[in-house]
Amino acid sequence: MKIAIYGQFYHINTLSSIDTLLVALTHKNIDVHIKRDYYNLISQQDKKFANFKTFDQLDNSFDLLISIGGDGTILRAVTYVRDLGIPIVGINTGRLGFLATIQTDDIDDAINQILEKRYKISERTLLSIETNPKNNDIVETNFALNEIAVSRKNTTSMIKVETHLNEEYLTSYWADGLIISTPTGSTGYSLSCGGPVISPDADSFVLTPIAPHNLNARPLVIPDSTEIQLKVDGREDQYLISLDSRIATLHNDTIVTIKKAPFKIKMVELISESFIDTLRKKLLWGEDKRN
């Protein structure tokens, strides 16, 4: 079995988690490859990590990718997995961890379950984006697992986001911006702006305005077969567009087209895990003493 390990940052409190993971995989005679940048980071801290193989790009020979960090690390890992169909599982050394669900105390047991194939796969829909004219910053990684958002730049003034769905005019949002979220991203930025929580297996997207001045503007759930077209205007000549954590600048004359990506990401879930259980734990829905 060939496993890739991906991480972005080194913190002193993650050293034991990295060590536990690598020891567990080594004892199972797993072919381990660590992302080169991450390998350089951790091998400087502890020389016992210095004998592992590295990778710069993934290919179909990999059976699994393990992300070490928070949800943001998984979102970055997705840009390497792309359409290869490699399952992803996350060890949570970050904060909330909706996607990175393996806790540091459970690494050994979780790895054993995964290697014994005692897990399930949750396929997650992504968004894809096209711009006219093209923007070189988002041509190569023109997809997002959580959300695509447009927002104001270099101004405190609102922007106008003219929105069409399947070429039919919907409305013009006067707001700080607009979020187009997948079900996976519904528990992230969209949720913090008042959007609904959507089950990962739902065939839906949600449009969530950011601080709208249209007081009757509300989040809108739409079928994921919908093609969304955006045209932004404002006092500044440019605005920001973000694909998960990746940000680019677009000119106001740019037409943005967003639709469902032609591939999905496979997230590994342990048998004992479920989305509903994660909601209770992460959003503290069971903390009401009346329950």
Catalytic residues: 71
> Phi-psi bin for 167: left (phi > 0), alpha (psi -120 to 50), beta?
left
What's the distance, Cα to Cα, between the start and end of the chain in Å?
A: 44
Q: Please check whether residue 194 is in contact with residue 208, taking contact to mean a CB–CB distance below 8 angstroms.
A: yes
Measured distance CA(146)–CA(162) in Å, rounded: 22
Query: β-strand 204-210 against 177-181: which pairing, if any?
Result: antiparallel
Nearest-CA neighbor of 230 among 291, 282, 176, 165?
165
Q: DSSP class of residue 196?
A: P
CA 229 to chain centre: 22
Residue with tokens 């496979």: 266
DSSP 43-65: HHH-GGGTTSEEESS--TT--EE
E-strand spans in 140-283? Answer: 143-144, 147-151, 159-165, 168-175, 177-181, 204-210, 220-223, 228-233, 238-243, 246-251, 255-270
Three-state DSSP class for residue 86: coil
Question: In the structure encoding, which two tokens stand for residue 139, read together?
Answer: 């041509």
Measured distance CA(57)–CA(86) in Å, rounded: 13
Position 9: which residue type? F
